[in-house]
Structure 1
């Protein structure tokens, strides 16, 4: 269960985010990955490296405001940071010794969803049942193109 629950949490995260319409979903996820990047600051288990990592993820999250790919990269960076903390024995939740391991399992699930463009899982389920069109793919504008002059 220790390995299954984080996967379920990652899928639930994507499912809950599916209730947020684009482009707000992408922007909210950029904020979420920025927050995740600062999650270890209070523990300071890696000293000054915690600040360097937070600065890196903040930059990646800023780029993620306009790109799902950058958000996915941010979650993968956080996965690596989780692994480092798990190996060092400095978990994200001090009283839950395997919390960084759980986070390291959950984060790639979220990253894969983001790298696919953060699609609405609700819309994907509707499409499988033949109920209607899905939302646009990653980084696709909803504006109609202007007519060409010729």
Structure 2
């Protein structure tokens, strides 16, 4: 379960985050990655590096307001930061020691979806294929 549950959470996240129609879907996801970038600020254990990382992810999120690619990059950056915390810092959830490890497995699922342009799986079910980035939903 240590490996499967984080991937399932990633898939469920994609399903929920794909509910809004474009362009709201992309903007919501940019806000989500910005929030994830600040998740370790209050106790990640890496001092000033936490602020530097948050600034980089905030920049990616800002660029993500207009680009799915930057949102995906933001999630991949967060994945790398999760690995750093799993190995050297504090976990993202203080009472769950493996939470950064789980986050490092969950985040790439979301990143891959974003790098594909954030298509709606709901549209795929309705039409038989995913809607391309920027394509109006039916």
Class of the TM-score when normalised by the shorter of the 2 chains: over 0.9
Could you say which structure has the larger radius of gyration?
Answer: 1
Query: 1:10: which partner in 2?
Result: 10
1:104 aligns with 2:104: yes
Question: Aligned partners of 1:63 and 1:6: how far apart in 2?
Answer: 27
Tell whether the 8 Å contact from 1:79 to 1:107 is kept in structure 2 after alignment: yes
Over 4 Å off, 4+ runs: none
If each structure's helix is expressed as a fraction of its own residues, which one has the higher value? 2
What CA deviation, in whole Å up to 9, does each residue of 1:33-91 have, x standing for no partner? 00000000010410000000000000000000000000000000000000000001510
Query: 1:28: which partner in 2?
Result: 28
Using structure 1 for the length normalisation, give the TM-score: 0.86
**Structure 2 stretches of 5 or more lacking a match?**
none
Question: Aligned partners of 1:91 and 1:48: how far apart in 2?
Answer: 17
Instruction: Give the 3 Å change call, closer, same or farther, for CA 6–44 of structure 1 in structure 2.
Output: closer
**Structure 1 stretches of 5 or more lacking a match?**
143-150
Question: Aligned partners of 1:44 and 1:9: how far apart in 2?
Answer: 22
Using structure 2 for the length normalisation, give the TM-score: 0.93
Question: Aligned partners of 1:127 and 1:141: how far apart in 2?
Answer: 13
CA-based RMSD of the aligned residues comes to 1.4
